[in-house]
Amino acid sequence: MKNIVMTIALMGVCICLGIATPILAAEVDVHADVESRELFENMPVKGLITITHPRNIAIDDKSFKMEKAPLTVSLVKEEPMTATGDLVMSIYSFEIGPQPKGAHSLPSVSVKAGSKEYRSIPTTYQIKDGSASDTVPAQSSVAATTSSSVDSSVVLRFEPFIEGPSTLYPGQQTLVGYNYIFNVNLDTTGEETPLLEAKGLIKIGDKIVKEGENQGLSILQIAQIVQGDNPGEYSFGPSHLEGKAYRLNSMGQRVYAKQKISINTPSLTIKVEPFPAADKPISFNGALGNFTWQVKLLTPAIVQVGDEVSLQIDATGKGNLASLSLPELCCQPGISGFFRLSDLPPVGTVEGTIKHFVVTLRPLTDAVKEIPSLEFSSFDPDEKKYVIVRSEPIPLKVKPAANQPSNIPKPTPAQSEIPQRDWKDQWNQTSLIAIEGNYPLSSTDLQDFFLGTWWSLLVLPIGIGAFIFQINLKRQLEKMPKRVAEQGNVLLQSALNASPGSAEQYRLLQKALLVKLVERQELGSADIAVELLATSGMQGKVRSLLLAIEEKRFSGQVGYPNAQQLKEAQEIVAELDALDTKGGEL
Amino acid sequence: MKSYLRDPFVIVCLLAVFVCFINIIKNLMEENPAKQLQIAQEQYIAGEQATTAMERKKLFNEALQIFLQLDEKYQPQFGNGKLYFDIANSFFQLEEFPLAILYYERTVALRPRDDKVGRNLAIAQQQLKLVPDNTVSPFQQLFFFHNYLSLPERLQLFSCLAIIAVGLGSGFFWTKNLWLYRSALGMGVLCGLLLLSLGYTHYISPERGILIQASSLYRDSGEQYAKVREEPLIAGMNLKVLDVSYSGKWLQVQTPEGLVGYVPNSSVRLI
């Protein structure tokens, strides 16, 4: 089995090599063709011969023949096929004489390469009628009058067009654009195409570009769908195109015509007419076309008050379905006051030639007996008249809601009992419910109250922080060395001013002397009994004086401290003031 | 001087001043909405005077669009409520009564003493055959100021009283004046009451919402569950929101009749 597979594989390889070898062995390939497909009679026909050959095989330039006749060629270029390979492509140009119009055959071209002769396969080409004067169109002008033999057959047409009606109604569409018809390449130096900008109209979609050929001429069409919006006359133009025609020579280089081409076209006008006011139906909402409308009930025909009822409304007919919108249903007879419509307007979906809308509404009362006849209207631009269609009413049974509160007003009259007023009156009827009017607003009404947000609660921690700050501040102030000198002197002054010989005077005098001792750092604290004072120094003087006063007072004698003792106290204070402080005073 | 700058209270005060300064600059650089307000007011008035339904709807819609844009930009939830009142009126004129009721309720919360709002709210509720709930709880009777003043007003009053209390307390701290002490205490008591009221509003007071589209009341959070009652709840109903389901898509609510059930989150807008 293994041997059979191996044998089959080997045979396959041989077959492949057998097929490939002749192909690979074809070392030289010759191909001849005319240079351009745009050939006109009475013009020389230029051609190119492309020879693919190994680098080591030389081409004999003088061996070219066409139909056994020598053919004069000139080498255009020679370049390798690949960066590393051996194959080279040599291109030669040739020219044959002018030919009459019609189909022609380019015969086989033979050439010697190495020691062998190789031939090309014959091809065909078409010679056209190349008279330039036949291509001047009626609407545009071609200013390309050149004297060069290269430019004698330049054709360039620039034609604005309106495909469709040039008188529109709001919402109606038409196609506008430009046709470029040419047989040359054009280096555009200036172009004005106001029709494509369509100022004043609404542009629908992107530009539509089409290319084609007709009678040997290339046609480029750039178009735009536009839609009427506001009534008025819109003029577009003049349009303008200018540039220089050129051809590519055999070297691939551009050969420009000597003269510039400039084309101007007159303005085109599109008129947008307003919808006629006469006989305009109230239900008209700008729909364009001639449509038929069908209304179907999607939900059950028996519902309760407040239940959702869905209607499918289908529109079909001649007109732009994509932009078709549902007319207002809110104010149609039998809807207002009986049904509550959905908050969102139905958008509609297009399926083929039908546009579907789904409308949801809720009956507000059990007096509802039907989905009333709905009116749909549109304007037919072809007939120039309004088309009004009315749907058939759809029976609907509405049950009252359970647990209905007792203070609900009496149900509204049945739909059929409502007199058939002129719909215009009902449509034009404004709300009968009066409410309080708006507040005139200013920019301050858009701001929050100052300190009226939750951020204002920050007052609490800030207030607590303020208290803590004050406590700390007070402590710091208390720690600061006091001007106790003032305190002692103030107390002495108070004692001198007090009632002579009174207990208060004695008390103030005692305190003043003790405080003075403290401030002079003669004493640690003023809260000390007089007997505990030292018996020498300033303390001793104060002790002596105070004990003397005490002795007199507690012995029942009045008038102490007397003037002499007060004077002595002043002298002690003065002496203490005069003492050198030991850093205890501010 | 350096020691004062290190004090936390001083730092907080300086930061507060800086933030206020930045806010003032920001407000000055903002575009003045006066022109938009004027256009909206003109559109509304023109809508009131319109002679056809389509024109009326168009004008009110344009006015409403401007009002809603301003609401989205400025969000004056602690303001004077006038913008919400105008939005509610616009919805009313467009016969969007549930949304009108929603904004009237928001206005009532900010303008509790304004009868004009109450009247319009009653008219809107009447359009939907809703019975207004006028019951007053004992709490509301006792703490009458709680409903007499709007939340921003209570916050303002609290801030002012707190600042005054701090000032009086500081005065007493330095001077030991008894009258200052008594006044500070009085202010503190009032602040405490207001703080209680604010705390109640924030933590205890139930959320309320308006049903903006009719919905059935379900026994649990899902349409597969049975309904609490067959007929749906009418749009515009004022509901007490009790809870939010795990997924966040359903709300447990209580109707004015006392029924408890679940409605879709999308059907309710909080006041």
**Can you give A464-520 as a three-state secondary structure string?**
HHHHHHHHHHHHHHHHCCCCHHHHHHHHHHHHHHCCCCCHHHHHHHHHHHHHHHHHC
Cβ separation B152–A452 shorter than 8 A: yes
Contact A153, A183 (CB under 8 A): yes
Q: Using an 8 Å Cβ cutoff, are B78 and B155 in contact?
A: yes
Cα nearest neighbour of A463 on chain B: B166
Could you count the other beta carbons within 10 Å of the beta carbon of residue A259? 16
Residue A586: per-residue pLDDT:
36
Q: What is the mean pLDDT of residues A492-503?
A: 91
**A432 in reach of chain B (CB within 8 A):** no
Mean pLDDT computed over A113-130: 85
Give the other-Cβ count within 10 Å of B208's Cβ.
16
pLDDT beyond 90 at B17: no
What amino acid is encoded at A391 in this protein? Answer: S
At B231 the pLDDT is 81
CA distances B122 to A103, A262, B9, B110, B129, Å, are 93, 75, 50, 17, 10
Q: Is there a cis peptide before residue A327, judged by omega within 30 degrees of 0?
A: no
End-to-end CA distance of chain B: 51
- Give the model's confidence band at A145: pLDDT under 50 very low, under 70 low, under 90 confident, else very high: very low
Sorted by sequence, the CB contacts under 8 Å of residue A92 that are 6+ apart come out as A48, A49, A51, A61, A64, A73, A74, A75, A76
Which H or E run contains A52?
A: strand A45-54
Residue B51 confidence (pLDDT) above 60: yes
pLDDT confidence of residue A347: 74
How many Å apart are CA B261 and CA B251, to the nearest integer?
8
Please give the pLDDT value at position A405: 42
For residue range B131-169, list pLDDT tens digits in order. 777 666 676 666 666 778 999 999 999 999 999 999 999
Closest residue by Cα to residue B172 from B188, B191, B158: B188
B202 to chain A, closest Cα gap in Å: 10
Element (H, E) at B36: helix B34-49
The two tokens of residue B47 are 């809508």
Which position has the token pair 């209905």?
A404
pLDDT at A147 over 50: no
Q: In A258-381, which ranges are E strands?
A: 261-265, 268-272, 289-297, 302-304, 309-319, 339-341, 349-351, 354-363, 370-371, 375-380
- State pLDDT tens for residues A293-309: 999 998 888 888 888 88
| Cα A156–chain centre separation | 41
CB distance A248 to A185 below 8 Å: yes
User: Minimal Cα–Cα distance from B250 to chain A, Å?
Assistant: 21
In the predicted model, is pLDDT for residue B90 greater than 70?
yes
Q: What is the pLDDT of residue B135?
A: 67
The complex scores an ipTM of: 0.86
Minimum distance, in Å, between the CA of residue A340 and any CA atom of chain B:
9
Which residues in chain A have Cβ-Cβ distances shorter than 8 Å to B162?
Answer: 459-460, 463
Say what the pLDDT of residue B137 is: 67
A positions 228-287 inside 8 Å of B (CB): 282, 285
Interface test with B, best of A377, A408, A425, A456 (most B CBs within 10 A): A456
The phi-psi region of residue B172 (left if phi > 0; otherwise alpha if psi is between -120 and 50; otherwise beta) is alpha
Judging contacts by C-beta atoms under 8 Å, the chain B residues touching residue A366 are none
Q: How confident is the model at residue A564 (pLDDT cuts 50, 70, 90)?
A: very high
User: For A477, which residue in chain B has the nearest alpha carbon?
Assistant: B174
Position A581 pLDDT exceeds 70: no
Which site among B28, B69, B115, B129 would you substitute to test the A interface, given the most A Cβ atoms closer than 10 Å to its Cβ? B129
Average pLDDT of every residue of chain B: 88
Whether A328 and chain B come into contact, CB under 8 Å, resolves to yes
pLDDT band at A319 (very low <50, low <70, confident <90, very high): confident
Q: What is the mean pLDDT of residues A156-165?
A: 89
**Confidence at residue B58, expressed as pLDDT on a 0 to 100 scale:** 86
Helix A503-519 to helix A484-497 angle (10° resolution) is: 160
Q: Which residues of A touch B199 (CB under 8 A)?
A: none
Q: Where are the beta strands (DSSP E) in A87-172?
A: 87-96, 102-106, 109-113, 116-119, 123-127, 156-163, 167-168
Hey, are the CB atoms on A459 and B116 less than 8 Å from each other?
no
Residue with tokens 């020389």: A44
Which residues of B fall within a CB distance of 8 Å from A438? 41, 44, 85-86, 89
In this complex, the residue of B33, B52, B232 whose CB is nearest that of residue A306 is: B232
- Nearest-CA neighbor of B257 among B223, B227, B234? B234
Q: Is B32 in the A-facing interface, judged by CB distances under 8 Å?
A: yes
Chain B (232-251) residues lying within 8 Å, Cβ to Cβ, of chain A: 232, 234
Structure tokens at A274: 């307003």
Distance from CA of A229 to the nearest CA of B (A): 18
Inter-chain CB proximity B82 and A460 less than 8 Å: no
At residue A520, the pLDDT reads: 85
> In the prediction, which pLDDT does B240 show?
92
Average pLDDT of every residue of chain A: 81
HSE-CB for B67 with a 13 A CA cutoff: 28
Closest CA relative to residue B215, chosen from B229, B240, B235: B235
Closest Cβ opposite residue B85 in set A431, A439, A450: A439
Q: Which residues, at least 6 apart from A509, have a Cβ–Cβ distance to it below 8 Å?
A: A492, A495, A546, A549, A561, A566, A569
- CB contacts, 8 Å: A457 with chain B: 155, 158, 198
Among the partner residues A403, A409, A459, nearest to B163 by beta-carbon distance: A459
pLDDT, mean of residues B40-49:
91
Please, are residues A320 and A225 in contact by the beta-carbon 8 Å criterion? no
With H, G, I as helix, E, B as strand and everything else as coil, classify residue A282: coil
Residues of B in contact with A402 (CB under 8 A): 229-231
CB of B96 within 8 Å of a chain A CB? The answer is yes
Q: Residues of A numbered 394-413 whose beta carbons fall under 8 angstroms of chain B's beta carbons: which are they? A: 401-403, 405, 407-409
pLDDT of residue B206: 86
Q: Nearest CA of chain A to the CA of B140: how many Å?
A: 22
